[in-house]
């Protein structure tokens, strides 16, 4: 870095930036300005450092798949999300923040259950879970909090079944996951939450080793830990990653997606009226693009000097990929700020891009397809039970969404 902090810090935009009042579905306006005027630009983050922010769809895709860019959060220059994330114990790392070949070795140990055909085979049980939860809501008092009674239980039940984690423990792991994904948590709080989850998974793995069942943790225990391919601690960290990544994200898509559709009744009607699985699948891609709930950017560090967009990113400098504004890039998606469930949206980067692209995406897709094609048909009069202005959004979350969504019918 040649510039000093005093030279640049004053004029640099702060990241993450606030969204515009009254536009909770749109990325912060300053990101659009950067995308138009300075698509590769330095920003200022919480610790005063000035990593690069990449805002164009094309640049995001090019660099996220570039081996000169590292996801290793223990490297000098990595732009951490918060003091808590920076302070986290290297032993708590998962393959999410490792590079190949280590990343590939570990990721490949868990790809099998996420193959399209295996996930497709889970569709009937996902449908059953969704139908049962709707039955319970319809039979109970209203209004209900859709987050608590539906959006969280769907992915939690699904991932618990897949991993072989008892769902009765959901209060425990949801409580700890909430701490981890809140940007304002202290380092001590995050470390304690990570430890509680990892210890729990570790115990569970010991139990699976003794009494294997047909689930993913049993497979990890018997095929990887027992064979010495991975340690029980590594397996426990992996289980924690899957459990966390597997429910927070999808839950936020369900609740925020429902709110976005209630605000766009024409689009909601399209979903309610279609019988075509392709149309539903397309709608899911568009909602992923439009909402881009992973709004705090993909974090990386340069391993070599990289020329891009007329700028030179030096080796050792942090890079943040703003996939939210990349998904609103007019060069990739015409009229990008319009929610249009019929547009081809597959090229979105809501699941990231490159070798770290979401492992759970086939499962997330099936869950969201089942939810969006069932909920509004079974409860056609679904509506908000509070003023839109009263809804609390997760502005401070690593993953965006709503804290609660009171609905009635």
Binding interface with another protein (CB under 8 A): 65, 104, 107-108, 111-112, 114-119, 281, 346-347, 351-359, 361-362, 365
CA distance 359 to 118: 13
CB of 355 to another protein, least distance (A): 5
Examine residue 376 and tell whether it contacts ligand HEM (CB under 6 A). Answer: no
Q: Cis bond leading into 16, ω under 30°?
A: yes
Contact flag: residue 397 with ligand HEM (CB under 6 A): no
Residues 286 and 340: beta-carbon distance below 8 Å: yes
Asked if 398 and 183 touch (Cβ cutoff 8 Å), the reply is yes
CB of 102 to ligand HEM, least distance (A): 11
* Residue burial 363-391, b: 16+ Cβ < 10 Å; e: rest: bbbbbbbbbbbbbbeebeebebbeeeeeb
| Paired sense of beta strands 406-408 and 40-42, if any | unpaired
Q: What is the rounded distance in angstroms from the CA atom of residue 287 to the CA atom of residue 164?
A: 30
Q: How far is the CB of 321 from another protein (least distance, A)?
A: 13
Q: How far is CA 21 from the centre of its chain?
A: 23
Closest residue by Cα to residue 327 from 33, 17, 57: 57
Residue 356 in contact with ligand HEM, rule: CB under 6 A = yes
Q: Fill in the per-residue mask, 63 to 102: x = in contact with ligand HEM (CB under 6 A), - = not in contact.
A: --------------------------------xx------
Give the position of tokens 């942090």: 318
Number of shown-chain residues binding ligand HEM (CB under 6 A) = 23
Tell me the backbone φ, ψ of residue 171, rounded to 5 degrees. Answer: -60, -45
Q: Are strands 306-308 and 298-302 parallel, antiparallel or unpaired?
A: unpaired
Binding mask 124-163 for ligand HEM (x = CB under 6 A): -----------------------------------x----
Residue 298 contact partner, candidates another protein, ligand HEM, none, CB within 5 to 8 A by sort of partner:
ligand HEM
| Closest residue to ligand HEM using C-beta atoms | 360
Shortest Cβ distance from residue 3 to ligand HEM (Å)?
27
Q: Given the complex with another protein, which of 164 and 362 has the nearer CB atom?
A: 362
Q: Select from another protein, ligand HEM, none the partner in contact with residue 111, using the beta carbon and a kind-dependent cut-off of 5 to 8 Å.
A: another protein
Q: How far is it, in rounded angstroms, from Cα 8 to Cα 318?
A: 16
Name residue 402's beta-bridge partners: 393
Among 53, 157, 241, 339, binds ligand HEM (CB under 6 A): 241
Cβ(260)–Cβ(339) below 8 Å: yes
| Residue 360: contacted member of another protein, ligand HEM, none (CB under 5 to 8 Å, by partner type) | ligand HEM
Q: Given the rule CB under 6 A, which residues bind ligand HEM?
A: 95-96, 107, 159, 241-242, 245-246, 249-250, 253, 293-294, 298, 350-352, 356, 358-360, 363-364
């Amino acid at each position: 870095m040649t510039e000093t902090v005093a030279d640049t810090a004053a004029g640099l935009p702060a990241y993450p930036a606030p969204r515009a009042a009254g536009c909770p579905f749109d990325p912060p306006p300053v990101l659009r300005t950067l995308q138009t005027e300075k698509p590769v630009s330095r920003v200022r983050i919480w610790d005063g450092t000035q990593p690069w922010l990449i805002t164009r769809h094309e640049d995001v895709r090019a660099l996220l798949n570039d081996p000169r860019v590292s996801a290793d959060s223990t490297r000098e220059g990595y732009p951490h999300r918060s003091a808590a994330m920076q302070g986290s114990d290297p032993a708590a790392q998962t393959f999410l923040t490792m590079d190949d070949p280590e990343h590939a070795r570990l990721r490949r140990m868990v790809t099998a259950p996420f193959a399209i055909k295996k996930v497709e085979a889970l569709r009937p049980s996902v449908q059953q879970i969704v139908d049962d939860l709707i039955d319970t809501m319809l039979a109970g008092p209203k209004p209900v909090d859709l987050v608590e009674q539906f959006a969280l239980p769907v992915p939690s039940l699904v991932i618990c079944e897949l991993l072989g984690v008892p769902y009765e423990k959901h209060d425990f792991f949801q409580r700890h996951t909430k701490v981890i994904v809140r940007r304002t948590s202290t380092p001590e709080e995050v470390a304690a939450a990570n430890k509680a989850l990892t210890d729990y998974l570790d115990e569970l793995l010991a139990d699976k080793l003794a009494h294997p069942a047909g689930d993913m943790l049993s497979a990890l225990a018997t095929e990887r830990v027992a064979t010495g391919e991975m340690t029980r601690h590594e397996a426990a960290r992996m289980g924690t990653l899957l459990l966390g990544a597997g429910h927070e994200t999808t839950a936020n898509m369900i609740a925020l997606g429902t709110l976005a559709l209630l605000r766009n009744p024409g689009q909601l009607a399209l979903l309610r009226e279609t019988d075509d699985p392709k149309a539903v699948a397309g709608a899911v891609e568009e909602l992923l693009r439009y909402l881009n709930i992973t709004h705090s950017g993909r974090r990386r560090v340069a391993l070599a000097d990289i020329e891009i967009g007329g700028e030179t990113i030096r080796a050792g400098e942090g890079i943040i990929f703003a996939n939210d504004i990349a998904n609103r890039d007019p060069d990739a998606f015409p009229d990008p700020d319009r929610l249009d469930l019929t547009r081809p949206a597959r090229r979105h980067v809501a699941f990231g891009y490159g070798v770290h692209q979401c492992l759970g995406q086939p499962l997330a897709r099936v869950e969201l397809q089942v939810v969006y094609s069932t909920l509004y048909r079974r409860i056609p009069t679904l509506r908000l039970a509070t003023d839109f202005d009263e809804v609390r959004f997760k502005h401070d979350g690593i993953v965006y969404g709503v804290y609660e969504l009171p609905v009635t019918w």
